[in-house]
Amino acid sequence: MNAAAVEELDLRPALTDISEEEELFRNTFREFAEGEVRPRVEEMEKAGKLDPELIKQCFEIGLMAIETPEEYGGAGSSFFNAILAIEELAKVDASTAVFVDVQNTLSTNAIIRWGNEDQKKKYLPQMAESKVAAYALSEAGSGSDAFALKTRAVDKGDHYELTGQKLWITNGNEADIFVLFATIDPEAGYKGITAFIIEKGFEGFSVGEKEDKLGIRASSTTELILDNCRVPKENVLGEVGKGYKVSIETLNEGRIGIAAQMIGIAQGAYDAALNYTAEREQFGKSINRFQAIQFQLAEMAVEIEAARLLTYNAARLKDSGKSFLKEAAIAKLYTSRVAEEVSSKAIELFGGYGYVKDYPVEKFWRDSKIGAIYEGTSNMQLQTIAKLITSGK
């Protein structure tokens, strides 16, 4: 076999290999999810917000700065470990998972990759220690057409003034730091888009109403209002007019985080159904003794495993510096379908109990639906995949 052939074989990292260090990370996250998150889930769901003490604990155990280099106060770990954390949290509570996800795979990643040294020194330690971050791209008329932004940034000499409104911003209520996108020139189209680092205390900035959502109810999803918001020029993230690159490339990574959230939801629903079918008796025996139930559980297990391998593969590719755009889109598309399908089937296996809030599976189903919508709808993932495969990539 020639050298070129060997190199070709090495393009895809092993899917299932988990190192001892990664297993230790996963076990730590699992223990935290079971010990600290699970006892709070019901109350947070009713209150529609995360427990402040839980947020504090997420910082204390390093969940909020997994990839952040140690020199900036982070764990200096891998993207793959961030994915493991999101998955473990989502098995218990998707709201907590997406809270951690947005901090790591979107906000922190954007500043690590695109920030200058002064910005990294100023913001990354804060985000590692106590400051929640959010990623603000979407607007009322700018969803799948992400660059149809109306939020305007006007050059005022030593600062920019931003005016507009952002919608559906995850972590909006908790965040102190926002990676936010606006256009400096609407006529320039996507080439006018610029990324900014916004602090909650900036003049002219405010957080609006929290959305009343179907699922992930403890996660705050809010509007942001910018009324001649003063942003120092040193808070431009990346180059002026190159915000489209910041947004696209960050979202590509973020989609793997959403895929991890979806496999966590699916696994959580499956685990609940597996336990219930072992305990529930009909016709004199537990219902998991019936072949019809066994086959349904087997189908669910197959789908979850396939979704997990797709997600881990995309994360490994990202960590290894290889192209992962197609793999990320495939993972997000497939896992969102699996999460919805598995959680729906779990409700059916619970019977009437599955339809009431006394049991956990209806929440998994409600939480799963967002996977087909945020950070790129399923239709947009199909478009990305189709474009790449028809171009031979």
- Tell me the CA distances in angstroms from 57 to 33, 60, 176, 222, one per residue in order: 11, 5, 17, 23
Q: Could you give the residue numbers annotated as active site?
A: 375
Q: Are strands 175-183 and 159-170 parallel, antiparallel or unpaired?
A: unpaired
DSSP state of 320: T
97 vs 263: CA distance, rounded Å: 11
Cα distance from N-terminal residue to C-terminal residue, the chain: 24
Give the phi and the psi of residue 323 in degrees, each rounded to 5.
-65, 135
Tally of CB atoms within 10 A around 120:
17
376 vs 14: CA distance, rounded Å: 27
Q: Please give the full DSSP string across 19-74, using - where no structure is assigned.
A: -HHHHHHHHHHHHHIIIIIGGGHHHHHHHTS--HHHHHHHHHTTTT-SSS-GGGTS
131 vs 272: CA distance, rounded Å: 34
Q: Is 299 helix (H, G, I), strand (E, B) or coil?
A: helix
